């Protein structure tokens, strides 16, 4: 160990020992980054009515409460429905747009790209009230349809960016070869290009799912009644009274998102090496 | 495979393609004979690849006509033109096997599976990769990939084959061998082939005819001997092989350089400024007063380079022009090479002279 | 060169073919464009229009005047800027060393350590905010731990106030700074540092004169993202601020939810949007925005 401290750590020959403070600080930061996310897991098994960590007594009553509550279950179903539908809507629309942006030779196509990125740049609250305003007028507020539209809007920039970046590092000669062999552009895209960028497409789809599943602000305004989402109900519960059920829901959400994150890292890594 | 009589001629007329103010192709007209191996040769940016892309349908010209046989195809999209195409970086589909790649055009044409399998295998055998069908693309070497690309381009028996610098990614030895193999393949199958390259040696080796292209225009269209021996203008003389250009003046008797009368053969173009084009291997070191038919020039040696099979000698003429001379090394050549500073007499036979116009083209 | 006649020889037909092809490719973008126009641009325009309507439905500047006149509104803007600047600053102080540490690790270890940055990034924002709510309570883990360690005697109020809000915001925003910064740092050619050493620089000055300046594109990109996100942030300040930290986004929400005052809300929204665009524009003077959009993931 002491020997390691004396070894150089970088091109400038600074030693590990001289950098020890950096290693310690960085480790502390990393722990602090992850810890709060993981805290909810043991908390959810606490028996107490009040949020406490560490739990005095252990039980699964909050999980039972969650799974047996009609409101929470219906909200969960809504969230999953919205997330899956968002994924199915935003991903194809985004892929088409990314392909159009990549192959178009129009002079001002960059402006289109900027336009499609704006949902990511604009404060979420503005998207929420704007959508709310319009949805009230056409009477689709509190509907799954409206929710999916709004969430697809939010997911779109991610799909466009991820797919666009994959297309940039893709050799378009492959598609040209397919076309020279007799495939019209759409068939060449489906049989040759799409398989080559499939990892990016999967990542984009997962991101779309998560964007919708985790989304709070927009859902707060335009989901409700029969179609309230999980996040919306959680947020209201947080503001009103601290319900430990939230801890159990949070644990489940952490599990779901961790799983998706792992999937995306696996596929995303493969794309990088291929 | 296609019999020579089925190969299609290509008629290119007045094809122009501009990008803003720049003419990528400037009113190009060209005939490719049925079954011929024609090379488009030129430096980067000359327009040769653009012309090939116009033939393939990937670049849309501003105007022009393109006929494959009797069919006007200029407005046909690429997937309906029925031409085989081989790309510079092979463009093999990584997610399919060799058979998958080669069979792709057959699947598009809904060829029944058994027949397709048969044709795939025959195509692979033609490029000497029989039995490679199940291999994955990443398991192949560069040369093998090139052959698979070729098999894929000919399996559906197109009557025209287009090749975009297909050998440039290979190393020298492999490239030299593949040049001959490709030529043999062409002779065997007999389809009309248009080949793009910037390597003049490659063009001279493989082609029936060469179209030298620069600035979007055809500088000269001729067979390899004509291109090399009788370049039509300064660009072709300079681009193919090496050349030294001596300014010559015209008077009542003929042509003169530095006051001295020249013995030449061949036509003299009708142009205000003329140059004598000399190839290094056609210049010899001669004794003073060498025989008839020889043009002689006094020059001072700048440096001599021994290159194993040949030697290079650079000498300057009295007016400052540097002339390069290449000679074969034999027996006692090395011992007799001149040294820096020596005065030598350079000789060029009349038959080895070419007079070209000095106009910028 | 003689001019070439650009008519005849299929010129008309070819031009039409080209136009149709360009139209078809642009058409591929149209569903996306339609979505953004209908759900974002048109409502935004509508709201901007509404912001100029007074309570009586006529054109009026009262919504904007209110922002300047009422002290509570000014305080909201000041709070929003305070939170945004402080969060950005703290993120830089904490995030830069972390990003540097990660960039110096060998690839495999770096990928594993990256999980500590990516896991919170992918975890629901609500879950993370909730976790801090619990951790920072009077009887929460932080207070209990600190008292046991002797750091302080009485439970401190570190939630439902600015402190709690900042802690939560920094935790949420940190990955947004670290990721582009890390990408930028990885892109610094290691040979530069070798050259600096070779030319006589000690490690510290080599860092400040060579490495740090080269890492600034990613740093500015990250700072911009964090700042812009903070400006419009809603959830975390709403939960951890306990009603004492009011940001513009929260005022907009309450204007609609509680008072149904669309005029006030939309005017605030217009100002917020203007501030966001302003921040983007200022940064675009220093950094090419493409780098942000490409470098994040």
Q: Establish if C23 touches chain B: CB-CB under 8 angstroms.
A: no
Q: Is the pLDDT of residue B110 over 60?
A: yes
pLDDT band at C2 (very low <50, low <70, confident <90, very high): very low
Task: Give the DSSP letter string of A88-152.
Answer: HHHHHHHHHHHHHHHH---TTHHHHHHHHHHHHHS-HHHHHHHHHHHHHHHT-TT-HHHHHHHHH
Look up the domain containing C45 and give its range: 12-51
Q: Is the pLDDT of residue C296 over 80?
A: no
Mean pLDDT, to the nearest integer, of B158-174?
Answer: 91
Task: Give the DSSP letter string of B261-292.
Answer: E----S-----SSEEEEE-GGGEEEE-TT--T
ipTM given for this complex: 0.85
pLDDT computed for residue B357 by the predictor: 85
Residue with tokens 């080949």: B195
Q: Is residue C226, in this structure, part of any structural domain at all?
A: yes
DSSP, collapsed to helix, strand or coil, labels residue A46 as strand
Q: Establish if B29 touches chain C: CB-CB under 8 angstroms.
A: no
Q: Verify whether the Cβ–Cβ distance A129 to C29 is below 8 Å.
A: no
Of B16, B60, B75, the CB nearest to C4: B16
**B315 touches B298 (CB < 8 A):** no
Mean pLDDT, to the nearest integer, of B174-189?
Answer: 91
The whole-angstrom distance between C122's CA and the closest CA on chain A is 6
pLDDT band at C1 (very low <50, low <70, confident <90, very high): very low
In C176-286 the beta strands, taken as DSSP E runs, fall at: none
Do residues C231 and C268 both lie within one domain? yes
Token digits for C48? 């901007």
pLDDT band at B69 (very low <50, low <70, confident <90, very high): very high
Q: Is the pLDDT of residue B58 over 80?
A: yes
Q: For B354, list phi and psi in degrees, rounded to 5.
A: -135, 130
B110: left (phi over 0), alpha (psi -120 to 50) or beta: left
pLDDT band at B289 (very low <50, low <70, confident <90, very high): low
Q: Is residue C288, in this structure, part of any structural domain at all?
A: yes
Q: Is residue C58, in this structure, part of any structural domain at all?
A: no
More confident residue, A3 or B110: B110
Nearest residue on chain A to B77, alpha-carbon basis: A184
Q: Is residue C2, in this structure, part of any structural domain at all?
A: no
pLDDT computed for residue C5 by the predictor: 58
Q: Give the tens place of pLDDT for each residue, C8-25.
A: 778 889 999 999 999 999
pLDDT band at A7 (very low <50, low <70, confident <90, very high): confident
Q: Establish if A107 touches chain B: CB-CB under 8 angstroms.
A: no
Q: Verify whether the Cβ–Cβ distance C44 to A126 is below 8 Å.
A: yes
Q: Is residue C286, in this structure, part of any structural domain at all?
A: yes
Q: In this predicted structure, which of B200-209, B216-225, C71-80 has the lowest mean pLDDT?
A: C71-80
List the one residue out of B37, B294, B15 whose CA is nearest residue B163. B37
Paired strand residues for B16: B63
More confident residue, C69 or B129: B129
Q: Give the tens place of pLDDT for each residue, C37-89.
A: 999 999 999 888 888 887 777 888 888 888 888 888 889 999 999 999 999 99
- The H or E element spanning position A5 is helix A2-6
Mean pLDDT, to the nearest integer, of C194-213?
Answer: 87
Q: Is residue C212, in this structure, part of any structural domain at all?
A: yes
Q: For C105, list phi and psi in degrees, rounded to 5.
A: -80, 150
pLDDT computed for residue C297 by the predictor: 32
Q: Is the pLDDT of residue A85 over 50?
A: yes
**Average pLDDT of the residues of chain B:** 90
pLDDT computed for residue A204 by the predictor: 93
pLDDT computed for residue A225 by the predictor: 75
Do residues C71 and C102 both lie within one domain? yes
**B199 touches B222 (CB < 8 A):** no
Global confidence as pTM: 0.86
Q: Verify whether the Cβ–Cβ distance A171 to B91 is below 8 Å.
A: yes
Q: Is the pLDDT of residue B49 over 70?
A: yes
Cβ neighbours of B13 in C, within 8 Å = 9
Q: For B1-42, what is the HEC assignment?
A: CCCHHHCCCEEEEEEEEEECCEEEEEEEEEEECCCCEEEEEC
CA atoms of B338 and C82, how far apart (whole Å): 85
Do residues C39 and C114 both lie within one domain? no
Q: Give the tens place of pLDDT for each residue, B298-329.
A: 899 999 998 888 999 999 999 889 999 998 98
More confident residue, A202 or B337: A202
pLDDT computed for residue C34 by the predictor: 95
- Interacting residues of A65 by C-beta distance below 8 A, sequence separation 6+: A72, A245, A248
Do residues C100 and C20 both lie within one domain? no
- The H or E element spanning position A234 is helix A230-240
- C-alpha distance from residue B245 to each of B267, B279, B290, C168 (Å): 17, 9, 22, 78
Q: In this predicted structure, which of B39-53, C146-160, C259-273 has the lowest mean pLDDT?
A: C146-160
Do residues C156 and C24 both lie within one domain? no
Cβ neighbours of B23 in C, within 8 Å = 1, 4
Q: Give the tens place of pLDDT for each residue, C126-169.
A: 888 888 888 888 877 788 888 888 877 778 788 888 988 999 99
Most confident stretch, A37-41, B191-195, B340-344, B351-355: B191-195
Q: Is residue C182, in this structure, part of any structural domain at all?
A: yes
Q: Verify whether the Cβ–Cβ distance C14 to B23 is below 8 Å.
A: no
Mean pLDDT, to the nearest integer, of A60-69?
Answer: 86
CATH number of A70-273: 1.10.3720.10
pLDDT computed for residue B254 by the predictor: 82
pLDDT computed for residue B115 by the predictor: 95
Number of domains in chain C: 2
Do residues C222 and C108 both lie within one domain? yes
pLDDT band at C3 (very low <50, low <70, confident <90, very high): low
Do residues C31 and C135 both lie within one domain? no
Q: Give the tens place of pLDDT for each residue, A148-163.
A: 999 999 999 999 999 9
Q: Is the pLDDT of residue C294 over 60?
A: no
Mean pLDDT, to the nearest integer, of A228-239?
Answer: 86
- Cβ-Cβ contacts under 8 Å between A and C: the total is 266
The whole-angstrom distance between A123's CA and the closest CA on chain B is 41
pLDDT computed for residue C182 by the predictor: 92
Of B26, B60, B65, the CB nearest to C9: B65
Q: Which of residues 140-199 of A touch B (CB under 8 A)?
A: 171, 173-174, 176-185, 187-188, 191-192, 195-196
Do residues C170 and C118 both lie within one domain? yes
Q: Verify whether the Cβ–Cβ distance C203 to A104 is below 8 Å.
A: no
Q: Verify whether the Cβ–Cβ distance C256 to A32 is below 8 Å.
A: no
Do residues C84 and C118 both lie within one domain? yes
DSSP, collapsed to helix, strand or coil, labels residue C59 as strand
Token digits for B353? 């002279």
Of B13, B26, B63, the CB nearest to C14: B63
B309-317 long-range contacts, CB within 8 A, separation 24+: B311/B337, B312/B280, B313/B285, B313/B337, B313/B338, B313/B344, B315/B344, B315/B346, B317/B246, B317/B258
Most confident stretch, B6-10, B260-264, C25-29: C25-29
Q: Is residue C194, in this structure, part of any structural domain at all?
A: yes
Do residues C104 and C17 both lie within one domain? no
Do residues C30 and C94 both lie within one domain? no
Kindly report, as residue ranges, where domains of CATH 1.10.3720.10 are found in chain A: 70-273
pLDDT computed for residue A141 by the predictor: 83
Nearest residue on chain B to C6, alpha-carbon basis: B63
**Average pLDDT of the residues of chain C:** 86
Direct distance between the N- and C-terminal alpha carbons of chain C, in angstroms, rounded to an integer: 51
More confident residue, C191 or A93: A93
Q: Reading across the β-sheet that carries B71-72, which strands appear in turn?
A: B22-32, B10-19, B63-68, B71-72
**B361 touches B233 (CB < 8 A):** yes
Q: Give the tens place of pLDDT for each residue, A192-226.
A: 999 999 999 998 999 999 999 989 999 988 887 77
Q: Verify whether the Cβ–Cβ distance C127 to A132 is below 8 Å.
A: no
pLDDT computed for residue A272 by the predictor: 42
Domains of chain B: 4-234 (3.40.50.300), 242-357 (2.40.50.140)
pLDDT computed for residue C230 by the predictor: 92
Do residues C44 and C96 both lie within one domain? no
**A228 touches A78 (CB < 8 A):** yes
- Interacting residues of A94 by C-beta distance below 8 A, sequence separation 6+: A155, A156, A158, A159, A160, A163, A204, A208, C32
Mean pLDDT, to the nearest integer, of C252-276?
Answer: 87
Of A53, A121, A221, the CB nearest to C141: A53
pLDDT band at A241 (very low <50, low <70, confident <90, very high): low
Distance of alpha carbon A257 from the chain centroid: 8
pLDDT computed for residue A273 by the predictor: 38
């Amino acid at each position: 160990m002491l020997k390691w401290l004396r070894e150089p750590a970088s091109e400038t020959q600074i030693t590990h020992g001289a950098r020890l403070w950096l290693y310690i600080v960085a480790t502390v930061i990393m722990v602090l980054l992850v810890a709060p996310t993981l805290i909810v897991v043991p908390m959810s098994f606490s028996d107490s009515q009040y949020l406490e960590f560490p739990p005095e007594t252990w039980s699964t009553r909050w999980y039972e409460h969650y799974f047996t509550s009609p409101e929470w279950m219906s909200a969960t179903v809504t969230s999953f429905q919205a997330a899956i539908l968002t994924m199915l809507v935003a991903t194809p629309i985004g892929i088409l747009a990314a392909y159009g942006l990549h192959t178009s030779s129009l002079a001002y196509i960059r402006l289109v790209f900027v336009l499609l990125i704006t949902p990511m740049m604009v404060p979420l609250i503005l998207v929420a009230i704007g959508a709310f305003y319009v949805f009230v007028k056409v009477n689709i507020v509190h509907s799954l349809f409206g929710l999916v539209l709004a969430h697809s809007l939010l997911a779109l920039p991610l799909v466009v960016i991820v797919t666009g970046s994959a297309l940039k590092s893709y050799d378009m000669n492959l598609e040209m070869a397919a076309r020279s062999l007799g495939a019209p552009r759409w068939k060449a895209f489906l049989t040759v290009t799409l398989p080559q960028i499939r990892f990016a497409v999967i990542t984009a789809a997962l991101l779309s799912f998560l964007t919708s599943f985790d989304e709070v602000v927009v859902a707060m305004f335009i989901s409700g009644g029969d179609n309230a989402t999980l996040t919306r109900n959680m947020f209201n519960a947080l503001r009103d009274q601290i319900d430990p059920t939230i801890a159990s829901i949070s644990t489940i959400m952490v599990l779901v998102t961790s799983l998706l994150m792992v999937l995306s890292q696996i596929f995303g890594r493969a794309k990088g090496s291929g | 495979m296609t019999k020579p009589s089925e190969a299609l001629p290509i008629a290119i007329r007045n094809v122009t393609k501009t990008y803003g103010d720049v003419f990528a192709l400037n009113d190009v007209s060209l005939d490719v004979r049925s079954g011929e191996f024609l090379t488009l040769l030129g430096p980067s940016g000359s327009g040769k690849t653009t012309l090939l892309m116009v033939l393939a349908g990937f670049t849309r010209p501003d105007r022009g006509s393109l006929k494959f046989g009797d069919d006007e195809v200029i407005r046909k999209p690429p997937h309906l033109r029925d031409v085989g195409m081989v790309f510079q970086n092979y463009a093999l589909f990584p997610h399919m096997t060799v058979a998958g790649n080669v069979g792709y055009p057959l699947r598009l044409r809904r060829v029944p599976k058994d027949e397709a399998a048969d044709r795939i295998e025959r195509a692979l055998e033609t490029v000497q990769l029989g039995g490679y069908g199940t291999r994955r693309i990443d398991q192949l070497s560069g040369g093998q990939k090139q052959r698979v690309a070729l098999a894929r381009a000919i399996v559906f028996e197109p009557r025209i084959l287009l090749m975009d610098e297909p050998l440039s990614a290979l190393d020298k030895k492999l490239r030299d061998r593949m040049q001959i193999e490709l030529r043999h393949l062409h002779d065997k199958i007999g389809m009309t082939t248009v080949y793009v390259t910037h390597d003049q040696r490659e063009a001279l080796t493989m082609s029936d005819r060469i179209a030298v292209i620069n600035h979007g225009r055809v500088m000269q269209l001729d067979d390899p001997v004509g291109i090399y021996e009788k370049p039509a203008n300064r660009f072709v003389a300079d681009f193919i092989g090496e050349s030294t250009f001596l300014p010559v003046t015209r008077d009542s008797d003929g042509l003169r350089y530095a006051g001295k009368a020249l013995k030449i053969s061949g036509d003299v173009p009708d142009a205000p400024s003329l140059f004598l084009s000399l190839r290094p291997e056609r210049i010899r070191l001669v004794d003073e007063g060498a025989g008839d038919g020889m043009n002689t020039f006094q020059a001072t040696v700048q440096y001599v380079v021994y290159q194993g099979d040949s030697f290079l000698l650079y000498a300057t003429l009295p007016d400052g022009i540097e002339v390069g001379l290449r000679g074969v090394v034999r027996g006692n050549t090395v011992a007799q090479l001149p040294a820096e500073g020596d005065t030598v007499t350079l000789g060029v036979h009349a038959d080895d002279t070419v007079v070209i116009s000095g106009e910028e083209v | 060169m003689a001019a070439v006649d650009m008519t005849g020889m299929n010129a008309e037909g070819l031009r039409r073919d080209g136009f149709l092809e360009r139209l078809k490719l642009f058409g591929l973008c149209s569903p996306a464009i339609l979505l953004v126009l209908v759900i974002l641009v048109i409502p935004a325009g509508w709201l901007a229009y509404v912001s100029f309507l007074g309570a009586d439905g006529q054109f009026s500047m009262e919504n904007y005047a209110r922002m300047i006149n009422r002290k509570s509104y000014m305080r909201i803007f000041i709070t929003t800027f305070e939170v945004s600047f402080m969060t950005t600053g703290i993120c830089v102080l904490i995030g830069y060393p972390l990003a540097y540490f990660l960039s110096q690790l060998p690839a495999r270890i770096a990928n594993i350590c990256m999980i500590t940055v990516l896991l919170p990034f992918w975890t629901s924002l609500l879950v993370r905010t909730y976790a801090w709510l619990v951790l920072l309570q009077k009887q929460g883990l932080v207070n209990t731990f600190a008292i046991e360690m002797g750091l302080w005697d009485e439970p401190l109020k570190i939630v439902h106030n600015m402190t709690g809000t900042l802690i939560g915001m920094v935790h949420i925003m940190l990955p947004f700074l670290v990721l582009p910064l890390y990408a930028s740092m990885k892109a610094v050619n290691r040979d530069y540092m070798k050259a600096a050493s070779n030319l006589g620089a000690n490690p510290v000055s080599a860092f400040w004169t060579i490495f740090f300046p080269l890492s600034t594109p990613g740093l500015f990109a990250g700072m911009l993202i964090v700042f812009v996100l903070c400006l419009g942030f809603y959830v975390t300040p709403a939960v951890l601020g306990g009603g004492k930290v009011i940001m513009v986004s929260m005022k907009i929400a309450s204007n609609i939810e509680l008072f149904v005052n669309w005029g006030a809300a939309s005017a605030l929204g217009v100002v917020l949007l203007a501030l966001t665009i302003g921040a983007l524009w200022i940064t675009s003077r220093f950094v090419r925005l493409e780098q942000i959009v490409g470098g994040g993931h």
